Amino acid sequence: MRVITGTARGKRLITLEGDEVRPTTDKVKEAIFSVIQFDIPGARVLDLFGGCGQLGIEALSRGADSAVIVDLGRRSVDIIKKNVDACGFLGRAKIVWSDAADYLKTSPVFDIALLDPPYNKGLLDEVLPLLEKKISDGGTVVCEHEAGLALGDRYGRLVKIKEYGYGKHVAVTTFRAED
């Protein structure tokens, strides 16, 4: 796994071994970032369910002003810290060891949120209603999830823009926050 483009382009990222994490493939990551590429420069980014931190790191590499990377797994948080440090982003990244829903109850507002939760656990339906209060007007939420999961068309101010399919197992749904 590597950073695709930007200031940390080509930097290899480490990840946990085994079934604890399911890193976003380069193909899906490229698709996600092509959708939000013009929103990234100067943005405040949230990488919820951070895993190894690759989505937040990719956003920083592409010019995001800051990123908060949240994960509940202690080992994942340790990996995220190593990856952020290896890419030179410690000054622009905050790494938080927390449950996603608990974090959103007290979090600041973000311009972009990148969500890639564990599949088949209902976590997106749990956090999207909380997240809608934490996204700036016109902000974007990108959710990677299992194919076949039907997310709502609206979560408060978050309005579904589009859903994309990537093979038999992965889908990405984007939302925009209304003013």
Q: What is the pLDDT of residues 62-95, one digit of tens each?
A: 999 999 999 999 999 999 999 999 999 999 999 9
Q: Please check the confidence at residue 20 and state whether its pLDDT lies above 80.
A: no
Q: Which pLDDT tens digit goes with each residue over 138-169?
A: 999 999 999 999 999 999 999 999 999 988 89
Q: Report helix, strand or coil for 137.
A: strand
The tokens for 80 are 């995220």
**Contact assessment for residue 84 and residue 70, using Cβ atoms and an 8 Å cutoff:** no
Q: Is residue 110 part of a domain?
A: yes
Structure confidence at residue 1 (pLDDT): 87
Q: Which domain range does residue 112 map to? A: 26-177
Q: Is residue 6 part of a domain?
A: no
**Contact assessment for residue 22 and residue 119, using Cβ atoms and an 8 Å cutoff:** yes
Q: Is residue 69 part of a domain?
A: yes
Q: What is the overall mean pLDDT for the chain?
A: 94
What pTM does this model have?
A: 0.94
Q: CB-side exposure of 74: number of CA atoms within 13 Å?
A: 0
- Percent of the chain with pLDDT strictly greater than 90: 88
Structure confidence at residue 19 (pLDDT): 60
What's the structural domain count of the chain? Answer: 1
- CATH number at 159 reads 3.40.50.150
Q: Is residue 15 part of a domain?
A: no
Q: Is residue 52 part of a domain?
A: yes
Q: Is residue 14 part of a domain?
A: no
Compute CA 82 distance to the chain's CA centroid, rounded to the nearest angstrom: 18
Query: Burial letters for 83-122: b for 16+ Cβ neighbours within 10 Å, e otherwise?
Result: bbebbebeebbebbbbebeebbeebeebbbbbbbbbeeee
Q: Report helix, strand or coil for 146.
A: strand
